[in-house]
Structure 1
Amino acid sequence: MNPIWLGVDPGLAIVGWAILEEAPMGEPLIIDCGTIETAKELTTPERLLEIEKDISELLQEFQPQHIAIEMPFFGRSIKAAGGVLQAFGVINLVCYRDTGILPVYLHQSSWKCHLGNGKAKKKDVADMIQVLFGLESLPIDDSVDAIGIGYAGLCGLRNNIS
């Protein structure tokens, strides 16, 4: 069996996730991808609990051997920072608790550079992923970023963040 990677784009409202399988020859395969969405009307702890449950289910279903997570970065806009950082912490905790895996943490600009453009917008990332994996169509949502994150980790990109 080829190694399985989980790529994660963390967030409180939306968590993007993707499962990729390494291929001994050629490009890896996208096994599945999607989003975990939490309702705004829920309290932050309720949203974090939902993320914890859903990530745990993904880990159990796909049993990845490797995990890559985008490290949140906040420039001028830090309004959503608290929620995203809490979600990142829960995802990090669940991954380690459920699998014993220390995730690879990647900066947004580095995994996007790996795809060809460090400042790419979501549509650009989707276009690059489509070409790279030979896909006819791809939803333009947070799962696209998770595919890029997982792919960069699978290809060996590391930011040495601990």
Structure 2
Amino acid sequence: MKVEAGNRWLGIDPGLALVGWAILDENPYSHRSLVDYGTILTDSSLPTPQRLVELERDLMDLFGEFQPNRAAVEMPFFSRKIKAAGGVLQAVGIINLVCCRDGEILPVFLHQSSWKAHLGNGRADKAEVAALIQTLFDLEQLPVDDSADAIGIGYAGLCGLTNNID
């Protein structure tokens, strides 16, 4: 009997300085499988446009290596006092661009509280998210903060969370 492949999800916790990413698979016999995860770090000594080019290249490499066909991205929320908002929102634009151009994917954008609630606690802090992810995927060690968030975001997308934000 031939087993058909399921979807491969890319989860993204966006930022300009640091982007968390995760690759998760779904298939007919297993609800979830964590393939890989990590972070993309851009050089803070460079101007924003050059950092965005770094981010674009690294995301293109992820698409080339893992070939996801679905993506879930956290939509950042900012208070008026956050100076980094402009750079982070520009990074979200690059993420959206690469998903559409290289993966032909329209990403699902999720609120932080909704994907965290999907894990069991909409107000979980970074350490709690990492511990939940460690348990959920039976990891030997806690993932790095931003990659743990990316795993949670990708998992929420894989499970069908669709509070999409355009």
Structure-1-length-normalised TM-score: 0.95
Unaligned runs of at least 5 residues, structure 1: none
Match of 2:152 in 1: 148
Unaligned runs of at least 5 residues, structure 2: none
Cα distance, 1:133 vs structure 2 = 1.2
1:73 aligns with 2:94: no
Match of 1:25 in 2: 29
Q: Deviations over 1:104-143 (max 9, x none)?
A: 0001110000001111111100110111112221233211
Question: CA-atom RMSD, angstroms?
Answer: 1.2
1:86 aligns with 2:86: no
- Give the secondary structure class of the aligned counterpart of 1:7: strand
Cα distance, 1:161 vs structure 2 = 1.4
Structure-2-length-normalised TM-score: 0.93
Match of 1:62 in 2: 66
Aligned length: 162
Match of 2:165 in 1: 161
Q: Deviations over 1:5-63 (max 9, x none)?
A: 00001100000000001132344111000000012101101100000000011011111
1:34 aligns with 2:58: no
Quote the sequence identity (%): 65
- Give the secondary structure class of the aligned counterpart of 1:22: strand
